[in-house]
Amino acid sequence: MANEPLRDRLVRAGIEVLEQDGLAALTLREIARRAGVSHGAPRRYFPTHLELLSAIARTGYARLTAEVAVDPDGDPRDQLLALGRAYLSFARANPGMFGLMFRHDLLASGHLGLRDTALPLFAVLVDLIERAGTRSTAPAAVVAGALWANLHGIAQLWSWGSLQLAVGGDDPGALLRAAVDAHVA
């Protein structure tokens, strides 16, 4: 890590904090400490804490996007199920990063193009909805938003243990299929 450029070390240290200690521990001081620099050093590359958090969240979107492999010639319903499985798996494996990626203050701020990193993934979902057809008269983007909200809700409630208590079982696959069935023709 010491030979890496400081900017990259700071982002990597932030990811390490998320993975080991969770979102609550993601402070500027802790990131700087893990990167082996003074707490003021990150300001040279990230004038605000929000910008550093946005850079960390961008890596999460890049990882999630890499896990969502869509075949343009594949069955769109199967692709939606695969996307949903990847989304839920990512949320389960990366709870701190998942929480950071969807913080409204980061997405709304537009720092470091975080929205530009997040929106292409949503566009994939919209495209799959358009190709699959919907049960709704709403535009595909609205249906995609509803399905995304379902996926996000499943991921969050599953991480809290709430869905396991409510529906039983230890696999959110049935919930994923029900969400897709509710929105896709």
Q: Check residue 1 and give its pLDDT.
A: 54
- DSSP designation for 24: G
CB 99 within 8 A of CB 155: no
51 occurs within a structural domain:
no
Domain limits for position 126: 70-183
Q: Is residue 46 part of a domain?
A: no
Does 149 fall in a domain? yes
Q: What's the half-sphere exposure (Cβ side, CA atoms, 13 Å) at 54?
A: 22
Residue 18 falls inside a structural domain:
no
180: pLDDT strictly greater than 70: yes
- Mean of the per-residue pLDDT values of the chain: 90
53-109 residue pLDDT tens: 989 999 999 999 898 888 878 999 999 999 999 999 999 999 999 999 888 777 666
Judge whether 63 lies within some domain: no
Q: Give this prediction's pTM.
A: 0.88
Enumerate residues 6+ apart whose C-beta is below 8 A from 89.
67
**pLDDT tens per residue, range 142-170:** 999 999 999 999 999 999 989 888 988 88
Q: CA-CA distances (angstroms) from residue 105 to 19, 50, 51, 99, 167? A: 21, 8, 11, 12, 33
Count of domains forming the chain: 1
Q: What is the pLDDT of residue 153?
A: 94
Note whether residue 78 is domain-resident: yes
Residue 163 domain-assigned? Answer: yes
Could you report the per-residue pLDDT of 100-138, keeping only the tens digit for each?
988 877 766 666 677 777 888 899 999 999 999 998 999
In 3-state terms, what secondary structure has residue 43?
helix
> Is residue 121 one of the residues assigned to a domain?
yes
Contacts from 163-171 at CB under 8 Å and sequence distance 24+?
none
